Amino acid sequence: MKAQHLLLVVPVVEAFLSTAPRHSFVGHGWSVIESPTLLKDTEGDVMDFGSRRKLEAALKPRILSPPQQLSIKEAQAVHGMPWTSSIDPALGEDALLYMPFWEWQMDFMKEQLTDLRVEPTTFEDIDFSFNENTKKKARIVNLNFSSKEYRKIRMTYYDAGDQTQVFNSVWYPASEYNLPVLGVDLLAFNRKKYLAIVDFQPIHKEEAHHAQTFEHILKPIKEKYESLKGRMSSKFYDETQFFSQQMLFARFEDEQVVSKDLLPAFQQYVRTHLDLIKSTSPEPSHKHQVLERQQAYDTYSAERDPATGLFAAMFGKEWADGFVYDFLFSLSEKKEGGLAAFMPPGMGGPPAGGNPYASGGNPHAQGQASPLLVTPGVASR
Taken as a whole, the chain contains a residue count of 381
CATH number at residue 296: 3.40.1500.20
Q: CB-based burial of residue 75 (10 Å sphere; 0-12 exposed, 13-18 middle, 19+ buried)?
A: buried
The total of structural domains in the chain comes to 2
Residue type, 381: R
Q: Could you say which of 58, 79, 98 is where a domain stops?
A: 58
Has residue 73 been placed in a domain? Answer: no
Is residue 333 located within the same domain as residue 245?
A: yes
Is residue 116 located within the same domain as residue 261?
A: yes
Is residue 176 located within the same domain as residue 286?
A: yes
How many angstroms separate the CA atoms of 225 and 264, rounded? 10
Half-sphere exposure of 232 toward its Cβ, with a 13 Å CA cutoff? 29
Is residue 328 located within the same domain as residue 251?
A: yes
3-state helix/strand/coil string of 312-355: HHHHCHHHHHHHHHHHHCCCCCCCCCHHHHCCCCCCCCCCHHHC
Has residue 192 been placed in a domain? Answer: yes
Is residue 30 located within the same domain as residue 128?
A: no
Is residue 189 located within the same domain as residue 276?
A: yes
Has residue 173 been placed in a domain? Answer: yes
How many angstroms separate the CA atoms of 142 and 318, rounded? 17
Is residue 47 located within the same domain as residue 130?
A: no
State whether residue 9 is helix, strand or coil: coil
What domain range is 129 assigned to?
A: 108-354
DSSP string, 269-280: HHHHHHHHHHTS
End-to-end Cα spacing for the chain: 48
Is residue 48 located within the same domain as residue 161?
A: no
Contact 134, 140 (CB under 8 A): no
**pTM score of the predicted model:** 0.74
Has residue 342 been placed in a domain? Answer: yes
- Short-list 99, 247, 188, CA closest to 372: 188
Q: β-strand 130-133 against 138-146: which pairing, if any? A: antiparallel
pLDDT string in tens for the chain (381-residue length): 444 333 333 332 223 223 333 333 233 333 333 333 344 433 344 455 555 556 655 655 444 443 457 899 999 999 999 999 999 988 988 899 999 999 999 999 999 999 999 999 998 889 999 999 999 999 999 999 999 999 999 999 999 999 999 999 999 999 999 999 999 999 999 999 999 999 999 887 765 555 557 888 999 999 999 999 987 655 444 454 556 888 999 999 999 999 999 999 999 999 999 999 999 999 999 899 899 989 988 988 888 776 777 888 899 988 998 999 999 999 888 766 555 544 443 333 333 444 433 333 333 332 333 333 434 444 433
State whether residue 381 is helix, strand or coil: coil
How many angstroms separate the CA atoms of 271 and 260, rounded? 18
How many angstroms separate the CA atoms of 262 and 366, rounded? 23
Is residue 193 located within the same domain as residue 336?
A: yes
Has residue 370 been placed in a domain? Answer: no
Residue type, 374: V
Has residue 101 been placed in a domain? Answer: no
Has residue 65 been placed in a domain? Answer: no
Has residue 365 been placed in a domain? Answer: no
